[in-house]
Amino acid sequence: PVAVTAGFVHGTRFYDYLGAYRLDRASDGVAKIAIGSTMEWAGSQGLTSFDFLPPGDAYKLAWTKSATPVHDR
């Protein structure tokens, strides 16, 4: 594989826990393809939310129009 995504489902939400890709294929957009494919799969399973989890990195924010603030204790 050139990219993988690992996550888990709870209720109607997919939690995107970990993603990885081959650096020599980064310019091919394989990470975006993996994320998009995972989102499509989540939707096909009837899931209604896709949670990238913290931190709010720029690549994560590029996929959304809104974000939920998260605070450490």
Report pLDDT digits (tens) over 43-72: 999 999 999 999 889 999 999 998 888 887
- Give dist(CA 26, CA 24) in Å, integer: 6
Mean pLDDT of 3-16: 97
Which of 31-64 are b and which e, b meaning 16 or more Cβ less than 10 Å from the residue's Cβ? beebbeebbeebeeeebeebebeeeeeeebeeee
Q: Give the pLDDT score at 9.
A: 98
Task: Quick: pLDDT tens for 18-37.
Answer: 999 999 999 999 999 999 99
> Taking the model in full, what pTM does it have?
0.88
pLDDT of 69 reads: 87
